[in-house]
Amino acid sequence: MENPFNVEKPVRPTFLTVLCILTFIGSGWGLINNLFQLAMFTPERLVAQIQQITTMAGTETQPSWVSSMLSSSLEVLQTTIMHGKAIYSLAALCAVISLIGAFMMYKLKRNGFYLYAVAQIGQLFIMPIYSGWNSAVIVSMAMSGFFALLFIILYGLNYSKLKY
């Protein structure tokens, strides 16, 4: 006679485990980095970067797209000087929500997928909210958005394995 109390635990797919571990690494690093930036935030450090970019922009032998990118980078740095604490705080919050979502998916909870997706999409819009839509922000958003979309799709492939 079989034991009626023997309840089988659902098995987590290896692919989902790998995705979660990659997210723990990536979002964990993002959290540590943003907390470090928040703790060490000084406008003077960014002013030095602005001076470097201004020096580079003074070179007249560069193509127009390079000077456009440099001026966009200056705008982003100036915005970061004004709103750095808010930017780094929101990015850290998104990293925490992403980690929570990945942990929930690791435990096969379906709501973790939604938390993760919201955090990843929300993180993309932090800089445009503060800095506007310039070329540096769009390039950064496109690169980050590619990986965010890739991971959301890959997690979506495992969505049927997640339980309520």
Do 126 and 87 form a contact (C-beta atoms < 8 A)? Answer: yes
CA distance 42 to 10: 49
Q: What pLDDT, on a 0 to 100 scale, did the predictor assign at position 117?
A: 97
Check whether 1 has a pLDDT greater than 60.
Answer: no
Query: Does the structure show a pLDDT above 80 at 10?
Result: no
85-100 pLDDT per residue, tens = 888 999 999 999 999 9
Query: What pLDDT digit, counting tens, does each position of 20-53 carry?
Result: 999 999 999 999 999 998 888 777 776 776 777 6
Is pLDDT of 123 > 70?
yes
Q: What is the DSSP letter of 47?
A: H
Q: H helices within the chain, ranges in order?
A: 14-39, 43-57, 64-106, 111-124, 126-131, 135-157
Long-range contacts of 21-25 (CB under 8 A, 24+ apart): 22/151, 23/98, 23/99, 23/102, 23/116, 23/151, 24/99, 24/102, 24/103
Q: What are the CA-CA distances from residue 143 to residues 51, 76, 90, 102, 137 (Å)?
A: 26, 16, 19, 21, 10
Average pLDDT over residues 130-149: 88
